[in-house]
Amino acid sequence: MLSAVLFDLDGTLLDIDIDGFLGDYFGALGPVVASVLGDGIAPEQGLRAVIDATEAMVVAHPETTNQAAFNARFAELTGVNLDLGEYALPFERFYAEVFPTLRKGLGPREGGRAAVQTALDLGLKVAVATNPIFPRSAVLERMRWAGIDDLTVGLVTTYECMHATKPLPAYFAETAELLGVPASECLMVGDDRVLDLGASRAQMRTFYVGPAPLPESDFAGDLADLAALLPRLASETS
């Protein structure tokens, strides 16, 4: 029985070279971090703290949101508490004003919107299940780039609301819980054989849309293949 579809964003619904994008992202973020940390701090030093704090989000911390895990580690390394408005404001401006300029021609992956719309039309619950290491504003911006920001989905996983990251089973279990469905009734769609296909450890079925060679997954193909498959999966009975 299928009740919900979880769509990865980067590389799945959004056509993106994630390594190149992250280089641009950290390059733009560096001066902001340095400005928050004060005089005498080079952008490279600030970015090392950001990367270290990001790594703190990917280890288990079940009682803490990803955002709180990041902020706690960042404060430990720098003495700066990002929960305080005076420090958070420069980052809010960055995501509102600078982050959108990083698009640089990025756009929807072919068939992505149609696949999401098919799931919605079938009455399935839908999550944009991107790895929740970014704030909501950054995820919503990338959803705009992917051409799906106007679709009404049930959940967008961001670092403010999630307590785990991919590929930990806890991430997929929490996503299913927030959607109100058993994990066994979810289909995870993604292009990353480690991060996305890790959903199988939470008893989810998986649909791989990444490059060859094909890994072990329940289904594989492009997003048009997914859209064609969904009606059959939605009609299954337990």
How far apart (Å, rounded) are the C-alpha atoms in residues 223 and 114?
Answer: 8
Q: Using the CB atoms, write b or e for 53-76: b if 16+ within 10 Å.
A: bbebbbeebeebbbbbbbbbbbbe
Q: Are 207 and 221 in contact (CB under 8 A)?
A: yes
Domain ranges for the chain? 4-16+106-234, 19-102
Kindly report whether the global pTM for this prediction surpasses the value 0.75.
Answer: yes
pLDDT in tens, 75-122: 998 888 888 888 889 999 999 999 999 999 999 999 999 999 999 999
203, two tokens: 């008893």
Which pLDDT score, from 0 to 100, does residue 238 have?
A: 64
Half-sphere exposure of 236 (CA within 13 A, CB side): 13
How far apart (Å, rounded) are the C-alpha atoms in residues 180 and 191?
Answer: 25
Q: Which of 189, 43, 208, 171 is nearest to 115 (CA)?
A: 189
For residue 84, give the amino acid letter. L
CATH architecture for the domain at 4-16+106-234: 3-Layer(aba) Sandwich (3.40)
Q: Which residues pair with 59 in a beta bridge?
A: none
Q: Are 6 and 199 in contact (CB under 8 A)?
A: yes
pLDDT in tens, 25-41: 999 998 899 888 887 67
pLDDT in tens, 180-217: 999 999 999 999 999 999 999 999 999 999 999 999 99
